[in-house]
Structures are given as structure tokens and as C-alpha cells.
Amino acid sequence: MLHRIEFQTPVTHEKIATILRTVDILVLPSLDKPDWREQFGHVLIEAMASKVCVVGSNAGEIPNVIADAGVIFQQGNELALYEALH
């Protein structure tokens, strides 16, 4: 089995669909900050529409966007992310 992780730099909106067709899992590991929280995580709905498995932290609105369509893990907890991916 080939194990490969790719960290994607920011891309234009027009390229998102092309990239999503090449992935198996999309992870959105956002962290709440005192002056910022994930408001929606638009890439999650784009991934779900492309039939990509989604894993997201419990930051901001991510749990509400993913609901029962993916896996939620405790933000900032690397072990929880590892377990969510397995």
C-alpha cells in the first residue's frame, strides 16, 4: 500500500474541482484562535459534493458543516487526528 500525504498550498477557486478529483480524503484541521474561528469551511462542501471523504476538527462551524457526513476530531490533538484517519 502506498502511503502519501500532500499538503496543498492555496489555489484558485477554478482549480479546486480538479484537485478534489485526485484525493481520497480531505482534512480541515482548523484551530480556534482568540480573534478567529472557522466560519464555514467551504472546501468541505466542495469535497463532499465531489464524493471525497472529509475529516475536520471541532473548530468553529466545521462540525455543523460535516455533521454525519464525515469524521470530527478534537482540534490541536494529533492523536485524535491520527485515530480519525484510521
Q: Measure the CA angle with vertex 16, ends 12 and 18; round to 5°.
A: 120
The pLDDT of residue 8 is 81
Cβ-proximal residues to 11 (8 Å cutoff; 6+ apart), any chain: 19
The pLDDT of residue 9 is 86
Read off the amino acid at residue 60.
Answer: G
Predicted confidence (pLDDT) at residue 1 exceeds the cutoff of 60 = no
Predicted confidence (pLDDT) at residue 7 exceeds the cutoff of 90 = no
The pLDDT of residue 2 is 57
Residue 6: pLDDT band with limits 50, 70, 90? confident
Which runs of consecutive H residues, i.e. helices, occur in the chain?
13-20, 42-49, 62-66, 78-85
| Average pLDDT of span 59-77 | 97
